[in-house]
Chains A and B, each alone.
Chain A
């Protein structure tokens, strides 16, 4: 019997805290079994920065808050058959999207950056400048959930999602048997 080809997985963290990637490790010892089924392509886990091959599954943590996030996300969409939004930030913007709610003035983005770097009560920024290194990607007008930028196939809720929900989702997807989440595994916090 020929051995099954291992599924190729790529991951990325956009406007997130990397907590969802940490949560992948919460799969614990089941990770060993899982690794028998998959191999990692582009991912911060192995520090591969460009796709080497087309992937079966792309897992994205975080929403889009700057142009680079958009660029990476579009690249993932082009190179992955199935794209999974992992965690609240990826699904709906999450905590970074809090800035969307406070941006109601004439020049909301400037107001937001000024408060973050200059005028905020607890800011210690001796340069009194908004950082503007040419290497910094441009910030978007607001934080976008992934599904507004590309088509997303699956969403795993949680902040961060538990190891259990990540494991059960990946395991059932790999087996071609994903039929939605068990209620007990759904958590938004």
Chain B
């Protein structure tokens, strides 16, 4: 059935929610400004928007100014200052989704719901929008419908989903059809396939329960840190900082409180390994965090879960409860006196930059996700000003296993400087997208043959902030010293347009820059515009040097890792595929720029004046 599409407004009218109810929500979180994310999430979920009056009420309750609340509410993509539909459908528009039929899915949703992307239906039932990578690249195209996830969308599936929603079915029922699942794990698995293609020895093979934690309570905190250092474990989120050293810094010095935070905000497009660990190894993760807590003397922990993974929250809550009940969290863990530790989940709200540890801490504190000035470093002064360890999901899981099996066992796997195994999130043009746990040191060729992607023309290692390489570099190795990666491996075959990919990645960074510092905020926009010029054939040969020059300014002067890596799609493709740039340029002949398009420039005036140009329309004479 077709619905009238033309007059749907971008927003719908709605009365602001009653102040008393807002104040009640704030009170639930102790009127604590540091819980701003939770307050805003609750308001957004319940009322579908954050009204100006709501911001005033929250400001009053938390003793902030309205503009401070607005600063947070306007920062995160999942909070809306305009009324949204009761059901918000967020279609993932990552390049992988685009290459796997996103257009048809978009068209189907727009047709069936009678609204365009970016709009909310007049009756306030539905909103349709795009969102960057939601961590489902192995089963693209995918979408979030409120807090649940639908994967492997096709035109037909999109139509069925839209029709079911219009018929009043809940998103939950659509995402998990049939009988109610018996556990949170089963629910998550029926929604999203974990796609484990290769289980390695450390994380995805058989893992004994709490063996690492048992070991940890039998030795001193210092011994735990030493074990970590000896294992060679380095952070698995991408930056690769030595884990043992981080823990040693955080454990040092006097402090009233210390914190252990798990970074489960994997927003790097093409990365989904943490999704699988959170689904399949949640106990191991929390065990690892508990080990870290013992090592550094932390009593409080936070799992910062990206907003896109809200569907995993019930599963994690269930595991936390089980562990509390089993004496593995809470006070006197495993009967050890003075070993107290508990964890809360902090849900993110759609901001890639929160994967940066300073920004993540800011977000946990109820602030916009802006990186913090360093020094001081989080291990010295982090969450609320206390020493804080922030590690990736995979890192904590490794830590628990290292305690159980010993540092040497882990150190002996992999290559010099890159020890143990690594989870690779493989997506794109290959036979078997999914998760592969492999020791460090494989070449790209080896990996491609494992995943069935031998006809790849380009591989994006480490996501957009990583390195794009061509076939002549496929013998390079997956190690920290050669091709460092947080785990994303995105494969492109010869039919893909490299400049389209680069332009998309730059638009991603423009969307996700926090805007704090000049080079990242402004420079990335310029890079994106320059790439668009190349795609349109409007670039001068000098523009190739301009791309390099602008990139190096952004890298040299940006404040955090986002800006330091955001020009990588441009720089690494310039290096790997120089010809695709040079063939798109137009040289300037006799000083006259071929890139200035006079016909396009006068076209509007021609239409308004209803006459042609006596200068530039050659066949025209008066």
A138 touches B609 (CB 8 A): yes
CB of B593 within 8 A of chain A? yes
Q: Mask for A75-88, Cβ within 8 A of B = 1, else 0? A: 00110000100000
From residue 111 to 165 of chain A, which have CB atoms closer than 8 A to chain B?
Answer: 113, 130, 132, 134, 136-142, 144, 148-151
A109–B604 CA distance with the chains assembled, in angstroms: 7
Q: Is the contact region of chain A dominated by helix, strand, or loop, or is it mixed?
A: mixed
- Smallest CB separation, B619 vs chain A (Å): 16
B contact residues around A83 at 8 Å (CB): 591
B contact residues around A151 at 8 Å (CB): 588, 591-593
- Smallest CB separation, B536 vs chain A (Å): 14
B contact residues around A136 at 8 Å (CB): 609
Q: Mask for B581-622, Cβ within 8 A of A = 1, else 0? A: 000000010111101101011111110111101111000001
**B612 — nearest CB in chain A belongs to which residue?**
A138
CB of A56 within 8 A of chain B? no
A149 touches B602 (CB 8 A): no
Known pairs A113-B608, A151-B591; A68 contacts B596 (CB<8 A): no
How many of A's residues come within 8 Å of B, CB to CB? Answer: 29
B591 touches A110 (CB 8 A): no
A150–B590 CA distance with the chains assembled, in angstroms: 9
CB of A53 within 8 A of chain B? no
A66–B588 CA distance with the chains assembled, in angstroms: 21
B616 touches A67 (CB 8 A): yes
Q: Mask for B68-84, Cβ within 8 A of A = 1, else 0? A: 00000000000000000
B606 touches A138 (CB 8 A): yes
**A140 — nearest CB in chain B belongs to which residue?**
B601
Q: 11 A-B Cβ contacts within 8 A?
A: A67-B598, A70-B601, A78-B590, A78-B591, A110-B608, A138-B606, A138-B613, A139-B605, A140-B601, A148-B593, A150-B592
CB of A46 within 8 A of chain B? no
B contact residues around A52 at 8 Å (CB): none
A138 touches B591 (CB 8 A): no
From residue 549 to 604 of chain B, which have CB atoms closer than 8 A to chain A?
Answer: 588, 590-593, 595-596, 598, 600-604
User: Can you name 12 extra interface pairs (CB under 8 A) apart from A134-B611, A141-B603, A149-B596?
Assistant: A71-B616, A77-B592, A132-B609, A132-B610, A132-B611, A134-B622, A138-B613, A140-B601, A142-B601, A148-B596, A151-B588, A151-B591
A110–B609 CA distance with the chains assembled, in angstroms: 10
CB of A74 within 8 A of chain B? yes
B contact residues around A142 at 8 Å (CB): 601
A66–B606 CA distance with the chains assembled, in angstroms: 12
A29–B622 CA distance with the chains assembled, in angstroms: 47
B598 touches A70 (CB 8 A): yes
B contact residues around A144 at 8 Å (CB): 596, 601
- Smallest CB separation, A73 vs chain B (Å): 9
Known pairs A113-B608, A144-B596; A138 contacts B590 (CB<8 A): no
